[in-house]
Amino acid sequence: MSNAKYNGCSRPFDVYQFISTGTLAGEIAVFLTCLLPSFSGREQVVASLIQGTLLLFVGSSWLMATFSDPTDETLKRFRTSARPEVDALFEHISANIAQYSYCTACQSFTEKGSKHCRRCNRCVSGFDHHCKWLNNCVGRANYRLFLAVLASVTLFACAFLFWGIYSFARFVRDPDYFRSFVSGVLSRSSMRSFTSSTWSPKTPESSRDPASPWGR
């Protein structure tokens, strides 16, 4: 059990973890740089509050589900308990053997109904499936957290889609608004480039040495 996973942040990592994180980061970037600037002042406040609240919901549920440990409780006790507690646990299992089963992979007794996950190399109580997006098993201990992740991501994506459709419909109805938005974006980018070029360090004319080849 030395190479058994404890949660979604235990190695090895899964590429789907990085895909899901990158997708969420991309949606946030599009919302902040493209959608939000197209709204009026009051609309920006409302959209920011809604998306910010949903993002907090997504992040908190995702972190809790990723760091949760759905490992079989009996297996946990064998893995972390001291010798006297293990002996007492053996006596309890012997007296209630019908409630337990033995996992040859974990080399330990587990609760009845637990299933061994080959990816995580551990038995999980009430095993449902192994989620690649969380890099963690979903079982009895974290099933509600998994449902919270699904609900929060769905709401966040639906709200993102709504703001996109709302902004696109405004551009279609009012071409002048679209042109003003584009010109505003271009002016902001040109202002940033102008500011960076203006504040870049330059050698003053008065401080140049005429005798130096770099001062000519």
Q: Which DSSP string do the residues of 155-167 spell out, in sequence order?
A: HHHHHHHHHHHHH
Q: Is 199 a domain residue?
A: no
104 belongs to a structural domain: yes
Distance CA 57, CA 104 (A): 39
Give the domain range for residue 80: 15-190
Task: Note whether residue 212 is domain-resident.
Answer: no
Q: Tell me, what's the pLDDT at 183?
A: 66
Contact 72, 124 (CB under 8 A): yes
Side-chain-side CA neighbours of 188 within 13 Å: the count stands at 8
Flag whether 30 is in a domain.
yes
Q: What is the pTM assigned to this prediction? A: 0.74
Q: What percent of the chain has pLDDT over 90?
A: 40
Least confident among 4-13, 82-91, 160-169, 171-180: 171-180
Q: How many domains does the chain have?
A: 1
Task: Let me know if residue 202 belongs to a domain.
Answer: no
Which pLDDT does position 215 carry in this prediction? 46
Q: Which residues contact 177 (CB under 8 A, 6 or more apart)?
A: 170, 171
Say which residue the tokens 């949903």 belong to: 54
Active site residues: 131
Sheet strands (E) in the chain: 100-103, 108-111, 115-117, 122-124, 129-131, 136-138
The predicted structure's pLDDT at residue 82: 77
Give phi and psi for 101, each to the nearest 5. Answer: -135, 170
Question: Given this model, what pLDDT does residue 130 score?
Answer: 94
Answer whether residue 164 is part of any domain: yes
Q: Note the pLDDT of residue 148.
A: 96
Please state, in angstroms and rounded to a whole number, the distance separating the CA atoms of residues 80 and 4. Answer: 13
Indicate if the pLDDT at residue 22 is higher than 50. yes
Q: What is the pLDDT of residue 98?
A: 86
Instruction: Name the 3-class secondary structure at 98.
Output: helix
pLDDT in tens, 168-180: 887 788 777 666 6
Indicate whether 210 belongs to any domain.
no
CA distance 16 to 107: 30
Q: What single-letter amino acid sits at 136?
A: N
* pLDDT (average), residues 101-105: 91
Does residue 8 lie within any of the structural domains? no
